[in-house]
Amino acid sequence: MIWDRIVTAVLQLNIGYLDIIDIIIVGYVFYRLILIIRGTRAEQLIKGLVILLLAMIISDKLGLKTLNWILEKVMTVGLIAIPIVFQPELRRALEQLGRGKIFKPSSWSWDPQDFDHFMEELMKAIPALVKKRIGALIVIERNTGLKDWIETGIAIDGTISAELLVNIFFPLSPLHDGAVIIRGDQIVAAGCYLPLTDDPYLDKELGARHRAGLGVTEQSDAVALIVSDETGIVSVAHNGVLTRYLDEKKLREILTELCAPPQTEGLNLNFWPWRNNK
């Protein structure tokens, strides 16, 4: 009965087989574009444009003429700026099209249940890095995808472990100079190159590692964990703000607040290996 109604509706709209094929092709192209954008900064920008578009439609329906006029002008400027803002994504899409990668599946997901394991291994690695004065830059991906910078490094795609983190940052190892990017409880890539901050007021004693940690958090909502190789000081960067001289309690609070999924509120996070060394 339902299918009969659907067929009848299609016939009434005078939709032919070519129209159906056309719709399928366009739908697939949009689907692949969404997969390309997903996991990059462009995803957040598109969400902002959608919100502006909805606000413009609602203001028009409600008769808010001044607000609607402002939103229309903003949308006009936004449409002109899209090719400029999305230039890296457009370039990557064309490159993937040329290489045939646009037809390959690409997806990932965050598993909240892995947070306990992530915290445990991270808290094993940090004191080992501090004790041996091994510099480290660990970037934790959150809502904004870091695919742009993941592609600059070497793919790891391995479950996080303290031993693996220490070995990656061990001096003279091939990947020790770059950043490690973590997604969930997975080390996605190592040796990644990140954008440096342009903050002119940053302490001059801070080197490239701290500047890179700040830079990536200025352009995304990621959390960067930095261990100084000279002083062993542990710092966290978020939203372009660097917090230094963190002890175990403060660092645990920051990571839990910024990275813990809602399901992990009752986790026991009291494990901290360097506590016994005090």
- Separation CA 260–CA 116 (nearest Å): 9
The per-residue pLDDT for range 76-98, each reduced to its tens digit, is 877 777 777 666 666 656 655 66
Tell me the average pLDDT of the chain. 81
| Whether residue 263 has pLDDT greater than 60 | no
Res. 45: pLDDT tops 60: yes
Q: How far apart are CA 268 and CA 248, in angstroms?
A: 14
Tens digits of residue pLDDT in 134-147: 999 999 998 888 98
User: Can you give the pLDDT at residue 264?
Assistant: 43
- Which one-letter amino acid corresponds to residue 208? A
Radius of gyration in angstroms for the set of CA atoms belonging to the chain, rounded to a whole number: 24
Q: In angstroms, rounded to a whole number, what is the distance separating the alpha carbons of residues 38 and 102?
A: 13
- pLDDT score at 98: 62
Report for 5-19, 192-206, 217-231: range of highest mean pLDDT:
217-231
Instruction: Map out the domains of the chain with their CATH numbers.
Output: 2-102 (no CATH), 112-273 (3.40.1700.10)
Task: State the pLDDT at residue 41.
Answer: 62
Say which residues have a Cβ less than 8 Å from residue 125's Cβ, sequence separation at least 6. 136, 162, 165, 166
Residue of higher predicted confidence among 261 and 58: 58
Query: Could you read off the pLDDT of 99-123 as tens digits, one per residue?
Result: 555 444 444 455 667 888 899 999 9
Q: Between 144 and 230, whose confidence is greater?
A: 230
Crossing angle of helices 41-62 and 65-85, in 10° steps, is 160
> Of 103-112, 127-136, 198-207, 244-253, where does mean pLDDT reach its minimum?
103-112
Pairs from 123-128 (Cβ < 8 Å, separation ≥ 24): 123/252, 123/271, 123/272, 123/273, 124/162, 124/273, 125/162, 125/165, 125/166, 126/225, 126/227, 126/234, 126/251, 126/274, 127/272, 127/273, 127/274, 127/277, 128/162, 128/166
* Cα 105 from Cα 32, distance rounded (Å): 9
pLDDT higher than 60, residue 222: yes
**Residue 266 pLDDT > 80:** no
- Looking at the chain, the whole-number percentage of residues with pLDDT higher than 90 is 38
CA-based end-to-end distance of the chain: 75
